[in-house]
Structure 1
Amino acid sequence: MDMNAYLSMFIDESNDHLQALNDNLMRLESAPEDISIVQDIFRSAHTLKGMSATMGFEDLASLTHEMENVLDLVRNDKLKMDSFIFDTLFQGLDALESMVEDVIQGGTGKADVSHIVANLVSIVKGEHKNGAPATGTATAGTSTASGNSGGLLDEFQSSVLKQSIESGHQVLYIKVTLTESCVLKAARSYMVFDVLENTGEVIKSEPPVEDLEQEKFDRSFTVFTISTVSADELAAKINSISEIETVEVLPLDAESLATLSSGGNQAAAAAEAPAPAKVEASAESESNTQGEQRKAPAKNGAPVANRTIRVDIDRLDSLMNLFSEMLIDRVRLEQLASEVKRQDLIETVEHMARVSSDLQNIVLKLRMVPVDTVFNRFPRMVRDLAKSLDKKIELIITGADTELDRTVIDEIGDPLVHLLRNSVDHGIETVGERIAAGKPEVGTVHLRAFHSGNHVFIEVEEDGKGINAKKVLEKAISKGIVTPEEANKLSNDEISNLIFAPGFSTADVISDISGRGVGLDVVRTKITSLGGNVSVTSAEGKGTKFSVQLPLTLSIISAMLIKLGDEKFAVPLSSIVETAIIQRSSILTVHGNRMIKFRNAVIPVISLSDLFESPNYSEANEEEHEIIVIHKGDKWAAVIIDEFIGQSEIVLKSLGKYLTNISGISGATILGDGQVALIIDPNALIK
């Protein structure tokens, strides 16, 4: 069977299960006695094993099976978690993630994990000590019980099912028969197994999974499963799959299980077993059942149909590009309609504008992704870093459901990793240092996200030793970043922000984790390229906070269109505080810099005509100046322009690789009249 059609589904679901395993292992490490967490971990591991085996990724399935053996002992209270077991399971998770990544890259998911398997086997055999594997040699591979080859179930499988029955779990024997006209028998069997894996645990299939994948069976196959749903419900779920002729589900007790295990005739065993009557479902009976269910409302929290689908990212990008082109034409139509002055045309264009505005909101929301998709990998990272540095650190995440454009989400991960690594390595003190300073031995790192206007703020704050202002100044002066005279005028926050200067570092020894300030210029460059900014505040002995400001979306924004002579420019509305008209006489000169009074403060004046060397506009000829007051964080500036055109929705276009690093310009847009307008980057104008 060609499984390529299912590969994308396998990759997506594998990543979901791996993330769930990571999250729940972290939870279990904080509460090792909570068996409910172990059950969640076991279910994710078991589902991943089944998916991997079905897709033919045997190394993935084998490693997951060995991890499953350890978890099974823990959930049955036969093994207590310790640091060595946690570390081994995390190593296994890392290996699984690497193997799935290999599959994504077109590989076979194979890897040498013999040392991890050996440690897992030693744990199962009780040969390990807390913190170290046993001195004995453990063999890599799956250990199976020898035994009863003559029956339908071997000794190990019989034991598992028997213990499940004794524990009160529901064990089912299922026979599925496909229709004679079924063409893709392997695909149908895969879909049946998908249902079974999602509702319980498959212990045995006949023929084996490998034969089912290669369609080496007639029309029927049987399965032993430990199910979390009733026989009726499971029969209905399986029969909802197309090209299923009949589904027979037989609940088993200890006696009927023993009969089947001994190799007796399956039909005879089913008839003689003193178990509840088997459940049979056909296409007709299933149809009737579904009809009755549709008439009655859901009760007692009954599950509803899944109303979400996975959409390929490239398709969303194509949708955004097509809508962007439509938006450009809409603006063009609005301009033409105003020139023609035909009422029915104006009304039609206005209606199209309203509809396209609603469509724009939907398209933008489709691209919005919770920052949790980035944040969810950080607890494990902080845990590993803290352990390697012998520190005690608690990571507190808030606002993980805050949404950002997918393009921003894709780019923000690395800068946040760098900020967190710096906080853990150079911000939080060692346990001894914290106790000596009168602090709790466990350091705290807060990672929070929240909306504010058209922006999202992400903060990384820790309660460590803070930034040494004196040391930062000395390093900045020695590197020529500031002069001694300039250094005397800087506030504490301005001193702290010097760590973002290119090549700046206060670290005496550069570690692989990186010291405070190493590469933070790269962080600022990346965030600035996204239309955002980053700042830092710190108090010595109390801690440091990094604040990252990001735009909600990078594709379509509201902007103010302005003129400078014959040229048109766009300024993002999110950066504009207000617009005004000032007299030339109100411009002051302070230490050689032009300033104006604004809201009980004095702010700098920026001349766009000087900055962009406009050939056909001169401020000297004007007694009054139209200005735009822009902001960058808590810094403001007044920008002198020639003329306001008005507000408009614009589509951001890249200037391409040949026009990079143009100061003050972040991109371009196409206007309704077909002209190209450059988009001014307010962050670059304010120093």
Structure 2
Amino acid sequence: MFLFEGLDHLAAMIDSIEQGGSDARDVSETKEQLEALTGKKDASKSETVKSSNGGTMKQQNDAQTHFLKLEDYEKAYMKQALDQNLKVYELQVTLNKDCVLKAARAYMIANALEEEGSILATRPATEAIEKEEFDQKLVYLAAVECEGQKLKQKIEAISEIAAVDVSSISEIEEQRAPQQSQKEQTESTEKKRNQTSRASATSAKKPVAVAKTLRVNLDRIDQLMNLFEELMIDRGRLERIASDNHHSDLSDTVEKIKRVTNQMQETLLNLRMEPIEQVFNRFPRLVRSLSKELNKKVNFVVKGGDTELDRTVIEELGDPLMHMIRNSMDHGIESPALREAKGKNPEGTLTLAAYYNGNQVIVEIKDDGAGINREKVLAKAIEKTW
């Protein structure tokens, strides 16, 4: 399995280079797993190193690894934050080994950090986190105004968190600076210059259209929407003035404003829209885990992942859908033996679907199990009521 992960890393690096990007990629976890498997654990992480004065000190490699792999734009964000007198921290978060919804936990961690400031970088990348393409370790680079201890406490308050390590950028740089000689710095600079030259040459030979993105706080979009609503009110007043005064030039201008504002409204609404698949993608692993736990065979079918919803709604859908899927697995779909006794396929089918119905979006969970036990539900309702 680890060899396949290594092949995936190599393929991703090649794709990135072919598109004019960087070959930087975090392979530390795969490396550690392979070393543990072969019994050749990296001595630099298990031994102590003699210091110049005869004492010993532990290697700081774990805390420094990710800063060596920051992309240029991430370094620019970090420098800008430091110039604004913000505090920049690296947070290494380890999830519990039995954590089921890792993407959901990662989202909660990101929310906690964004309440205090902004996230400058993540390892692995956001796309990999949403697809749960990582083990238990997450690394965040955050710029905030508060102390690192507060960030640590906020993240530790989230369930299924095994460990949180917080390091200040300034502290890491102070530890690393004496360890790097002038010669090493020169070699590092020369190597970076050569890499930049090669990347520039590659880009010149094969220009690639790179998607431009900007991280925007949702509060700003809400504020923009409020201002737009005021603009729409004023547009209505202009329409009435033009109509009451029978002013043709003003009417033409108002008509143009109307077309532009309609386009603005559509654009603003689309800014908040995201495909629902980012929530749906969390559940295949949950279903597989529950299938093994409950000894049930389940074919999990997902439909309509490209259906778009407001991001705020998507954020609230995760937990309710998880509970409904659990209920379907626990109480709806029968065991293989019971299904065969009823003449059914021993493998049950659980369908999670989203689709448009007019101006509404319907999210549906359906299974071919035993259905709702009316008598049992009625008895429970009476018990709770009386």
Cα 1:218–1:326, aligned 2, differ >3 Å: closer, same or farther?
farther
Cα 1:213–1:452, aligned 2, differ >3 Å: closer, same or farther?
farther
In the alignment, the residues of structure 2 paired with residue 318 and residue 68 of structure 1 have an alpha-carbon distance, to the nearest angstrom, of 46
1:247 aligns with 2:160: no
Matches within 5 A, 1:567-606: none
1:70 equivalent in structure 2:
33
Q: Give, in angstroms, the shift of residue 393 of structure 1.
A: 2.5
Output one character per residue of 1:159-218: Cα deviation in whole Å (capped at 9) or x when no partner: xxxxxxxxxxxxxxxxxxxxxxxxxxx79xxxxxxxxxxxxxxxxxxxxx9346765578
Q: Give, in angstroms, the shift of residue 72 of structure 1.
A: 5.5
In the alignment, the residues of structure 1 paired with residue 377 and residue 8 of structure 2 have an alpha-carbon distance, to the nearest angstrom, of 51
1:466 aligns with 2:379: no
1:362 aligns with 2:280: no
2:304 equivalent in structure 1:
399
1:281 equivalent in structure 2:
194
Output one character per residue of 1:23-52: Cα deviation in whole Å (capped at 9) or x when no partner: xxxxxxxxxx594356548999xxxxxxxx
Q: Contact 2:334/2:370 (CA < 8 Å) preserved in 1?
A: yes
2:216 equivalent in structure 1:
311
Q: Give, in angstroms, the shift of residue 425 of structure 1.
A: 1.3
In the alignment, the residues of structure 2 paired with residue 474 and residue 392 of structure 1 have an alpha-carbon distance, to the nearest angstrom, of 29
Cα 1:326–1:216, aligned 2, differ >3 Å: closer, same or farther?
farther
Cα 1:41–1:464, aligned 2, differ >3 Å: closer, same or farther?
farther
Letter in 2 for 1:281: N
Output one character per residue of 1:606-628: Cα deviation in whole Å (capped at 9) or x when no partner: xxxxxxxxxxxxxxxxxxxxxxx
What TM-score comes out, normalization by structure 1 length?
Answer: 0.33
Cα 1:410–1:325, aligned 2, differ >3 Å: closer, same or farther?
farther
Q: Tell me the SS of whatever aligns to 1:248.
A: helix
2:91 equivalent in structure 1:
none
Cα 1:72–1:434, aligned 2, differ >3 Å: closer, same or farther?
farther
Identity, in percent, stands at 36
Q: Contact 2:333/2:370 (CA < 8 Å) preserved in 1?
A: yes
Q: Contact 1:211/1:217 (CA < 8 Å) preserved in 2?
A: no
Q: Tell me the SS of whatever aligns to 1:321.
A: helix
2:4 equivalent in structure 1:
36
In the alignment, the residues of structure 2 paired with residue 332 and residue 355 of structure 1 have an alpha-carbon distance, to the nearest angstrom, of 16
Q: Contact 1:446/1:462 (CA < 8 Å) preserved in 2?
A: yes
Cα 1:297–1:386, aligned 2, differ >3 Å: closer, same or farther?
closer
Output one character per residue of 1:631-685: Cα deviation in whole Å (capped at 9) or x when no partner: xxxxxxxxxxxxxxxxxxxxxxxxxxxxxxxxxxxxxxxxxxxxxxxxxxxxxxx
What TM-score comes out, normalization by structure 2 length?
Answer: 0.55
Letter in 2 for 1:319: L
Q: Contact 2:100/2:285 (CA < 8 Å) preserved in 1?
A: no
Q: Give, in angstroms, the shift of residue 407 of structure 1.
A: 2.9
Q: Give, in angstroms, the shift of residue 454 of structure 1.
A: 2.0
Cα 1:218–1:37, aligned 2, differ >3 Å: closer, same or farther?
closer
Q: Give, in angstroms, the shift of residue 406 of structure 1.
A: 1.8
Structure (1/2) with the larger strand percentage: 1
In the alignment, the residues of structure 2 paired with residue 357 and residue 324 of structure 1 have an alpha-carbon distance, to the nearest angstrom, of 11
Output one character per residue of 1:491-537: Cα deviation in whole Å (capped at 9) or x when no partner: xxxxxxxxxxxx79xxxxxxxxxxxxxxxxxxxxxxxxxxxxxxxxx
Cα 1:394–1:357, aligned 2, differ >3 Å: closer, same or farther?
same
Cα 1:312–1:222, aligned 2, differ >3 Å: closer, same or farther?
farther
1:351 equivalent in structure 2:
256
Structure (1/2) with the larger helix percentage: 2
Q: Contact 1:67/1:89 (CA < 8 Å) preserved in 2?
A: no
Matches within 5 A, 1:286-305: 286=197, 290=200, 296-298=205-207, 303-305=208-210
Matches within 5 A, 1:608-687: none
Q: Give, in angstroms, the shift of residue 403 of structure 1.
A: 0.7
Q: 1:340 aligns with which of 245, 257, 280?
A: 245
Q: Contact 2:336/2:347 (CA < 8 Å) preserved in 1?
A: yes
Higher relative contact order (CA 8 A, sep 6+): 2
Q: Give, in angstroms, the shift of residue 372 of structure 1.
A: 1.7
Cα 1:35–1:289, aligned 2, differ >3 Å: closer, same or farther?
closer
Q: Give, in angstroms, the shift of residue 453 of structure 1.
A: 3.1
Show structure 2 runs of 5+ residues with no match.
13-25, 41-94, 116-149, 164-168
Output one character per residue of 1:431-470: Cα deviation in whole Å (capped at 9) or x when no partner: 332232233333221111223432222221112112345x
Matches within 5 A, 1:529-544: none
In the alignment, the residues of structure 2 paired with residue 294 and residue 43 of structure 1 have an alpha-carbon distance, to the nearest angstrom, of 19
Cα 1:294–1:443, aligned 2, differ >3 Å: closer, same or farther?
closer
Output one character per residue of 1:537-585: Cα deviation in whole Å (capped at 9) or x when no partner: xxxxxxxxxxxxxxxxxxxxxxxxxxxxxxxxxxxxxxxxxxxxxxxxx
Q: Contact 2:298/2:350 (CA < 8 Å) preserved in 1?
A: yes
Matches within 5 A, 1:37-56: 37=5, 39-40=7-8
Show structure 1 runs of 5+ residues with no match.
1-32, 45-60, 79-86, 118-185, 188-208, 224-243, 250-278, 481-502, 505-687
Cα 1:323–1:403, aligned 2, differ >3 Å: closer, same or farther?
same
1:380 equivalent in structure 2:
285
In the alignment, the residues of structure 1 paired with residue 241 and residue 361 of structure 2 have an alpha-carbon distance, to the nearest angstrom, of 37
Cα 1:363–1:110, aligned 2, differ >3 Å: closer, same or farther?
closer
Matches within 5 A, 1:109-148: none
Paired residue total: 273
1:427 aligns with 2:335: no
In the alignment, the residues of structure 2 paired with residue 306 and residue 219 of structure 1 have an alpha-carbon distance, to the nearest angstrom, of 39
Q: Contact 2:2/2:34 (CA < 8 Å) preserved in 1?
A: no
Q: Give, in angstroms, the shift of residue 73 of structure 1.
A: 5.6
In the alignment, the residues of structure 1 paired with residue 34 and residue 366 of structure 2 have an alpha-carbon distance, to the nearest angstrom, of 36
Q: Give, in angstroms, the shift of residue 70 of structure 1.
A: 2.5
Matches within 5 A, 1:18-29: none
Q: Contact 1:38/1:71 (CA < 8 Å) preserved in 2?
A: no
Q: Give, in angstroms, the shift of residue 366 of structure 1.
A: 0.9
Q: Contact 1:448/1:458 (CA < 8 Å) preserved in 2?
A: yes
In the alignment, the residues of structure 1 paired with residue 265 and residue 103 of structure 2 have an alpha-carbon distance, to the nearest angstrom, of 42
Cα 1:444–1:100, aligned 2, differ >3 Å: closer, same or farther?
same
